[in-house]
A = this chain, B = another copy of it.
Amino acid sequence: MASLGDLERSVMDLLWDSAEPLTANDLRDDLAALGTDAKELAVTTVLTVLARLEKKGLVERERSTRPHRYAACSSREDHTVGLLNEALGSAQDREAVLARFIGGITADEAASLRAILDSVKSA
């Protein structure tokens, strides 16, 4: 799984948060609105990033409409889960890692984890 740079990440966040596919211009504006720096990127910059994200398989492009419209291929959660599995990856010590990891989550999260485990178990 490919790692993302700062700008790529920002673009993905916008796409993930958007219900509709967005155009490069939409994204340029949204990016400018995001940072307090108010720095406007060139549209070509956004397009380059989108092309790279497309090549990485993270973004789909509608070529039928004239301003092409871009959307994330998978949800943010699925992407994050991919990252988690990659981090855990080939580690043979998965359980040891999980043990330490559990130690660091909040009580609320532990509770919901337990609930999730229970529902999975019954399935």
Contact = CB atoms under 8 A, between A and B. Distances in A.
**Identical subunits present:** 2
A111 to B, nearest CB: 9
Contact of A76 (B91, B95, B102, B104): B91
19 contacts: A76-B91, A78-B100, A80-B91, A80-B93, A81-B100, A81-B101, A83-B87, A84-B101, A86-B87, A87-B87, A94-B105, A95-B109, A98-B112, A98-B113, A99-B116, A102-B116, A102-B117, A110-B120, A113-B117
B95 A112 contact: yes
Contacts of A104: 81, 85
Interface of A: 3, 76-78, 80-81, 83-88, 91, 93-105, 109-110, 112-114, 116-117, 120-121
7 closest residue pairs by CB, A with B: A83-B87, A80-B97, A81-B100, A77-B96, A102-B116, A95-B112, A81-B101
